[in-house]
Amino acid sequence: MTQEKPAGLPDKIRHFIDGKHVDSVGGEEFEVLNPVTNETYIMAASGQKADIDLAVAAAKRAFEEGPWPKLKPRERSRILHKVADIVESRDEQLAQFESFDSGLPITQAKGQARRAAENFRFFADLIVAQHDDTFKVPGVQINYVNRKPIGVAGLITPWNTPFMLESWKLGPALATGNTVVLKPAEFTPLSASLWGEIFREAGIPDGVFNLVGGFGESAGDSLVKHPDVPLISFTGESRTGQIIFGNSAPFLKGLSMELGGKSPAVVFDDADLETALDATVFGVFSLNGERCTAGSRILVQRGIYDEFVERYAERTKNIVVGLPSDPKTEVGAIVHPEHYEKVMSYVEIGKSEGRLIAGGGRPEGFPEGNFVAPTAFADVSPDARIFQEEIFGPVVAITPFDTEEEALALANNTKYGLAAYIWTSDLKRAHNFAHAVEAGMVWLNSNNLRDLRTPFGGVKASGLGHEGGYRSIDFYTDQQAVHITLGTAHFPRFGAGK
């Protein structure tokens, strides 16, 4: 079983600091694996504190001395639109890099490349349309808000859909005039290596964008603890988020963290069953199940439970597992052997916690690599580990409920609160349930279609803060209040005598 390497691979993945591709100061490297075979296909520079120091120094210099923060919004907007144009023109290469590196099916990787371009277009437009508040007291005072870029933004991104999620942070950080140091995930560094040339071709000055690859405990930790990095935006799992929170505390850094999820999909007996099946199958197994907003707990009302489980099992068994490069593939290879072992351990745990109705091991015909058969468990108790813990793979738990009150209790019965999906034809129930469920984002009779103007983020263990739309502008800018006196200023005259 082979998968051809995409054209245009570099000889090695290097850091990008102050406009140049560079090796680590100490020469440190790590192996990057092909998830189909788990063989090393390229070496990558492994960032240490010295590399982060160089990148931050370049970004700070570009912020304090360079033109980028001082450009008019329209000028920055034009450059970011060029970035989007270049990304769109290279979508085939980007998708091939992403699919080969991460194991994502190629058709889904193409969608991520297009979304990355759209993220830049959105913030390029938003920064021009942005307006600030003014508060007037006629004849007395005018007060207005002056937004200013903050400085060097540290961006730490995950290994699932890496290029798109990098664009999600890079777009608003750059649009608002900041400079950045990006630390991409070590499992999937390939597509991130393209950013440097894309930004250079678009006209972004040297030092504005910097990239240091490597591991969280070295490169990521050094970025979080660097005193000249006032902002950290992190997407990843909740335990790492807690560590970042603690390490940032002495510096009082601005933090935005989108963390783990164990999102419920609640299907009431009055739902459009066919549509709910389509959405809940796609919502778990797309992107190989490696998505933070996956509806990996499906709660189904008792009256339709048996039919739903039977049809869900049939659909799951028919999902096409294949090479990531095959356009027919619906589920590809898990990103890395470490993560594969984690997912498979939960599959084994699930066999004692629920009724296995599909999958449960390796798919036929794939004796090597990180392939997991799409797996579904029914009759899962709410205290089961596969109900409570984030698996981040093609594994789903299905649980019955009788009443709306019980469904709400089950939906809220985890430490996470990122997303929720509700399927019902009762409009009152839909809105009331949505307002009561503990989730940062709720979809009613829909699956994860998000307007970029809306906030993205979670509650409880699923995150801190929100990004998206003006929430991203808020995060990446300081809001300075300026007060102007229009009349005669009157002050108590301390020390003036009688």
Which residues are designated catalytic? Answer: 258, 292
Name the residue with tokens 């005072």.
141
- Residue 174: name the closest of 239, 121, 113 by CA: 121
Contacts of 140 (CB under 8 A, 6+ apart): 485, 486, 487
- Name the helix (H) or strand (E) containing 487: none
**Concatenated DSSP letters of 191-226:** GGGGHHHHHHHHTPPTTTEEE--S-IIIIIHHHHH-
Q: Which two tokens stand for residue 131?
A: 């307006």
Structural contact between residues 116 and 164, judged by C-beta atoms closer than 8 angstroms: yes
Structural contact between residues 149 and 176, judged by C-beta atoms closer than 8 angstroms: yes
> In the Cβ-directed half-sphere of 332, how many Cα atoms lie within 13 Å?
29
DSSP bridge partners of 143: 135, 483
Name the residue with tokens 């400085």.
151
| Residue 376 one-letter amino acid | A
DSSP bridge partners of 351: none
Name the residue with tokens 């504005």.
208
* Backbone angles phi and psi of 447, in degrees to 5: -135, 95
Q: How far apart are CA 498 and CA 492, in angstroms?
A: 12
| Residue 298 one-letter amino acid | I
Q: Which two tokens stand for residue 472?
A: 């991203």
DSSP bridge partners of 257: 234, 464
**Concatenated DSSP letters of 23-86:** --TT--EEEEEETTTTEEEEEEE---HHHHHHHHHHHHHHHHHSSGGGS-HHHHHHHHHHHHHH
Residue 249's CB: how many other CB atoms inside 10 A? 10
- Residue 241: name the closest of 457, 11, 22, 57 by CA: 457
Q: Are strands 419-423 and 441-444 parallel, antiparallel or unpaired?
A: parallel
